[in-house]
Chains A and B, each alone.
Chain A
Amino acid sequence: MDSSRRSFLNLLLGVTGVGALGSIVYPVLKYLTPPQNAEQSVASVVAATVGELKPNSGKIFKFGNKPGILIMTQNGEYRAFSAICTHLNCTVQYDPEIQQIWCACHNGHFDLFGKNVSGPPPKPLESFDVEMKGENVGDEIVVLRRS
């Protein structure tokens, strides 16, 4: 009888202990997790204006709180991608010499469709849609997230 009472008390103590510990640890872990910010949901942004980019060049723009890259190809076509390298998060740049998107961090290369062609990046860059508001110098070039 005595020993079963003892083990019951031990159990009670254990459960209380775990409960107390949990009630401390859980809020702390939650506290450490930063709250999701609303900025995420930016769907489109003016990335540049007509005339800003020369053929065979690129520009980094802010897409919400992340960098994007707008490229004007040799033939004057616009393309837009997320500028965040799929390897380890560096910001890519346009390399006019080889006409590819290049990541300086570990020498990753992407072609003009955002496809990873050499180096460590495992996936293509996320592509965005480009919408021209007009053909004249100063008209806005809008970049949209693909749905």
Chain B
Amino acid sequence: MIQRLLTWLEDRVDLSSIKHLIQEKTVPRHRMTGFYFFGGVALFFFIVQIISGILLLFYYRPTSEEAFESVKFIMTQVPFGWLVRSIHSWSANLMILSLFLHMFSTFFMRAYRKPREITWITGFLLLGLSMGFGFTGYLLPWNKLAFFATRVGTDMVSVVPLIGEWLLRVLRGGEDVTGATLTRFFGIHVTILPMIVFALLGIHLVLIQQQGMSVPIGARIKGQIPFFPNFMMKDLLAWLLALAVLAGIASIFPWELGVKADPFASAPAGIKPEWYFLFMFQALKVIPAHVLGMEGEVLGLAAFGLCGLLFMLVPFLDRKAQREERSKLITGAGWVAVIFIVAMTIWAYLD
């Protein structure tokens, strides 16, 4: 029966390349093979995001009058609503965590070297877009913390040269963070960002299939694991594990809703953005108001922008990697970034 179905399909669709891929694909085995899993795990969380996000759309209302109430309704009235929302929030965080791990592991393994420059750049952009998802999604429940976090976060775009003020108005849908901002963020969160992400993710994944797994410079290869079924089973195991962790956290620590936003209230003490923005938040907090005649904030954001750009362009900057050599400088820079991010994040928590 299945065989007949397959031949029927094969007469109409060319499946040979897929077949070839499934049969031929292997994963090299070495000391760092374990790090190959993070990309797949991030993909898993992304799929969870799509499903849980669609589910939330059935009840959510993107206006300043109704957003908070509709999320509350989801969490208190809708059967398993609390779980769906909790999963959506937690999975977002776990996705970004896996993306960070994926990015830094590929960075240290120099997986970006020729011919994988495009894979690296699309990956880097995908991380940025994920943070955009996080930022726009954070506002949607329209609670107090999110309201002020969005005010602070959007205000930063005004430092962009020339078009900053205009950009700020476009983003906020007016002078200030209001219901118009909420509606815009909703639109960005559920239409614009997904479209761009699908396109980039498509390129990213196709390239990975075409190019195969990158092997770290100088790694001792201890043989190849056939992808199908051996590695795929391990991948699925990782997904199952990820699901278990997600379900566990989401049900033991349901995501809080907080207090409804009031545009005419003072900012509450201790406001903080989501953890993946904390390192920037903390750095901006400790930069003095003026440095060498420049506003500290402008300087800080310019520095972050520049570092981000350098990081994205590392495949072209790391000349040694092109010659299959490890550069101490690049490794050092990577560690500085990791230590900076971790230290700043911890500091922000303790502060």
Contacts and interface: CB of A to CB of B under 8 A. Distances in A.
- Do A and B interact? yes
Interface of A: 32-34, 37, 40, 60-62, 65-67, 83, 85, 87-93, 103-107, 116, 119-122
Contact of A62 (B151, B174, B264): B264
Given A92-B266, A103-B267, 18 more contacts: A33-B170, A34-B173, A40-B175, A65-B178, A66-B175, A67-B263, A83-B266, A88-B151, A89-B155, A90-B151, A90-B271, A104-B267, A104-B270, A104-B271, A106-B284, A116-B289, A122-B289, A122-B296
- Of B178, B284, B289, the most chain A CB neighbours within 10 A belong to B289
25 contacts: A34-B173, A34-B174, A37-B174, A60-B264, A60-B266, A67-B263, A67-B264, A85-B267, A87-B297, A88-B152, A88-B155, A89-B151, A90-B151, A90-B267, A91-B266, A92-B266, A103-B267, A105-B152, A116-B289, A120-B285, A120-B288, A120-B289, A120-B296, A122-B290, A122-B295
A90 B264 CA distance: 11
A88 B297 contact: yes
A90 to B, nearest CB: 4
Contacts of A106: 284-285
A105 B285 CA distance: 9
A6 B141 CA distance: 58
B156 interface: yes
A122 B297 contact: yes
A91 B297 contact: no
B265 A60 contact: yes
B148 A65 contact: no
B218 interface: no
A106 B284 CA distance: 9
Given A120-B297, A122-B297, A90 B148 contact: yes
A93 B297 contact: no
The 3 closest A-B pairs by CB, nearest first: A93-B266, A90-B267, A88-B152
B153 to A, nearest CB: 8
Contacts of B237: none
Interface in B246-280: 263-271
Contacts of A116: 289
Contacts of B265: 60, 91
Given A34-B180, A122-B295, A93 B267 contact: yes
B170 A34 contact: yes
Contacts of A32: 170
B116 interface: no
Given A103-B267, A104-B268, A88 B156 contact: yes
A33 B166 contact: yes
A120 B267 contact: no
B176 interface: yes
Contacts of B61: none
B287 interface: yes
B169 interface: yes
A105 B289 contact: no
Interface string B140-168: 00000000100110111000000000100
A83 to B, nearest CB: 7
Contacts of A33: 166, 169-170
Given A62-B264, A104-B268, A104-B270, A91 B176 contact: no
Contacts of B155: 88-89
A85 B285 CA distance: 14
Interface string B176-191: 1010100000000000
- Of A33, A40, A89, A91, the most chain B CB neighbours within 10 A belong to A89
Contacts of A121: 289
A90 B287 contact: no
A28 B200 CA distance: 24
- Of A60, A65, A88, A103, the most chain B CB neighbours within 10 A belong to A88
A122 B285 CA distance: 12
Contacts of B173: 34
A37 B174 CA distance: 8
Nearest to A68: B264
A85 B155 CA distance: 11
A16 B174 CA distance: 34
A116 B295 CA distance: 14
Contacts of A61: 264
Contacts of B178: 65
B159 to A, nearest CB: 10
